[in-house]
Amino acid sequence: MYWNREAETMPMERVRKLQDTLLRDTVAQAAGSHFYGERFAALGLTPADIRSVDDLSKIPFTTKDDLREDWPYGFVAVPREELVRMHSSSGTTGRATVIFHTADDLDAWTDLLARSMYMAGMRKGDVFQNMMTYSLFTGGLGFHYGAERVGALVIPVGAGNSKRQIQLMSDFGTTAMHIIPSYALHLSSVFEEMGLDPRRDTALKLAFLGAEPHSEETRRRVEDYYGVKAFNSYGLSEMNGPGVSFECSCQCGMHIWEDNFIVEVIDPKTMEPLDEGEEGELVLTTLKRRGMPILRYRTKDLTRIIPGDCPCGRTHRRIERIKGRTDDMMIIKGVNIFPIQIEKRLMDIPGVGSNFQIILERKDYNDHMIVKVEVQREIFTGNLKQLEDLRRKIIEELKSDILITPKVELVEPNSLPKTEGKAVRVIDNRERQQ
Ligand code: ADP
Ligand code: ZN
């Protein structure tokens, strides 16, 4: 049941002690980098000032902009020749950041992924199809090595080329897949096009969904359509990539591996720490990375720590599914809205297809939201009344959640733009319409 019982079920008091030791090492290591060397000097801080996790607040937060500014090697804390791998972020919110690893860093990361996938039920003997981009993106190689360590047969197909994905799945008996949730929804329409049904024509039983926010409703759709159990996988390149936090078989929040990361949740406005259970921005500190330690990294991801123990017996605390990034928040007519609220409602409405897009416009000094929604083929080609009923239902459902009335346009399946990577949900045209 456990990949590493000792590490996964360690009592919290021991985790805290371990964190103190690892934090001291990490801070001493970080002091050797250009960035933290200068930062500590400017604050008159020495590694000896950080004795335990209680001292963490003496260290300022690190941001994505810090990483961008001390480009490219400013955070590296080992001699250059000890680095064996570079990765980068996807660049979703601006210039991508780069991360470097030593061989030991990669080993620790691989172990976290093996632990995570094993926790969700993958075993030696499984056939694992990795449908994430290989290359600088961490979701490809990260999962790849983790799955090999578990002992699965890995099909390193990478992203895109949907028909080939399906062919591989059915020919080689894929049992587990790693897939971006919006792509999993899209792929279902390709299955339909090919006249195939994953429940009948594949041996799939597990899906790891990660890299972008998605709702419980999307998870359910993926589970129902593919006949799998789907697990939420969270990570970010700055903290290695996937393997930071992952769901166990309870599917009741994601365990965050506290023997590898220190977890804080702060109010993104005041930057004050929040209590367990309160929603805010996740802040993480690496504890096992030598090549490029990062202290108190502001992830910009919104979540909360779920209070209480998990029935699976693992002691590491759980975070709730990510609501989105602080940057994802749309302010429309003074109302704060996250794309996931819209996704959640849409995915719960029968007849709604696999893709949608939110367009924001400004006319006569007023904000307008247009939601384009793909509908299922039989509805799209069905009678007009049915289509209109669905449109009204969508407006009603969205309005009850986001409190404003969006304009809803129903469109043909597969007609909205798709990406191979993270879905682009919002097109904001308001700036140029001021
Ligand atoms: P970028 O920050 O440029 O997108 P990354 O590839 O490092 O680059 O992506 C990490 C980010 O992706 C996270 O900070 C988070 O916003 C998002 N993300 C990753 N996994 C999940 C998940 N399971 N749920 C929600 N968001 C996720
Ligand atoms: Zn659990």
Interatomic CA distance for residues 278 and 320, integer angstroms = 11
Q: Are residues 348 and 375 in the same domain?
A: yes
Above pLDDT 70, what percent of the chain? 100
- Distance from C-alpha of 227 to C-alpha of 220, rounded to nearest angstrom: 10
Q: How many domains does the chain have?
A: 2
Residue 14 and residue 126 in one domain: yes
Ligand that lies nearest to the alpha carbon of residue 320, given by its number in the listed order: 1
Does residue 113 share a domain with residue 65? yes
Hey, what's the torsion of the CAs at 54, 20, 103, 8, to 10 degrees? -110
Mean pLDDT across the chain:
97
What is the rounded average pLDDT of the residues 183-201?
Answer: 96
- Residue 368: phi and psi, rounded to 5, are -130, 140
Residue 195: the pLDDT is 96
260: confidence class by pLDDT, cuts 50, 70, 90: very high
How far is the C-alpha of 11 from the C-alpha of 206, rounded, in Å?
A: 29
Residue that finishes a domain, picked among 280, 300, 327: 327
Mutate to test the pocket of ligand 1, among 301, 318, 420 (most ligand atoms within 8 A of CB): 301
Residues 304 and 412 in one domain: no
What CATH number is attached to the domain comprising 412? 3.30.300.30
Q: What is the DSSP string of 313-351?
A: ---S-EEPPP-EEGGG-EEETTEEE-HHHHHHHHHTSTT
What values do phi and psi take at 375, rounded to 5?
-115, 165
Give 264-283 pLDDT, tens digit per residue: 999 999 999 999 999 999 99
Ligand 1 centre distance from Cα of residue 211 (Å): 5
Is-contact 291 82, C-beta < 8 A?
yes
| Average confidence (pLDDT) over 398-422 | 94
- pLDDT single digits (tens) 269-318: 999 999 999 999 999 999 999 999 999 999 999 999 999 999 999 999 99
User: Does residue 9 or residue 421 have the better pLDDT?
Assistant: 9
Pocket test for ligand 1, best of 116, 182, 236, 341 (most atoms within 8 A of CB): 236
- Residue 291 sits in the same domain as residue 396: no
Cα–Cα distance measured from residue 317 to residue 367, given in angstroms and rounded to the nearest whole number: 40
pLDDT for 3 beyond 80: yes
The H-or-E segment that residue 370 falls in is strand 366-375
C-beta of residue 110 within 8 angstroms of C-beta of residue 221: no
Can you tell me the mean pLDDT for 356-376?
Answer: 95
Identify the domain boundary among 297, 327, 357: 327
- How far from 31 is each of 24, 53, 60, 84, 224, CA to CA, in Å? 11, 17, 13, 21, 50
368 and 292 share a domain? no
Token pair for residue 237?
């390149």
Can you give the pLDDT at residue 431? 83
- Expressed in angstroms and rounded, the spacing between residue 309 Cα and the centre of ligand 2 is 8
Predicted pLDDT at 161: 95
Q: Which two tokens stand for residue 314?
A: 């693992």
Reported confidence tier of residue 365, pLDDT bands at 50, 70, 90 = confident
pLDDT, tens digit, 9 for 90 and up, residues 68-102: 999 999 999 999 999 999 999 988 888 899 999 99
The token pair at 82 is 């000890």
Of 304, 327, 350, the domain-final residue:
327
**Shared domain check, 142 and 282:** yes
Q: Give 254 Cα–ligand 1 centroid separation in angstroms.
A: 14
Q: Are residues 318 and 344 in the same domain?
A: no
pLDDT for position 434: 60
CATH number for position 40: 3.40.50.12780
14-18, 353-357, 415-419: range with lowest mean pLDDT: 415-419
Same domain, 139 and 239: yes
Distance CA 120, CA 399 (A): 36
Domain that residue 346 falls in: 335-433
Q: How do the residues of the chain divide into helix, strand and coil, expressed in percent and rounded to 5?
A: 35, 25, 40
Give SS3 for 286. strand
Report the predicted TM-score, pTM, of the whole model to 2 decimal places. 0.97
Average pLDDT, stretch 343-352?
97
**Same domain flag for 23 and 108:** yes
CA–CA distance, 129 with 92 (Å, rounded to integer): 25
Q: Are residues 421 and 356 in the same domain?
A: yes
Strands of 280-286's sheet in order across:
261-266, 280-286, 297-303, 324-325
Same domain? For 320 and 349 the reply is: no
Q: What angle do CA 184, 210, 390 make, to 5 degrees?
A: 45
The pLDDT score that the predictor gives to residue 92 is 87
Number of the ligand closest to the Cα of 231: 1
Contact residues of ligand 1, CB 6 A cut-off = 89-92, 137, 210-213, 232-237, 299, 301, 322, 325
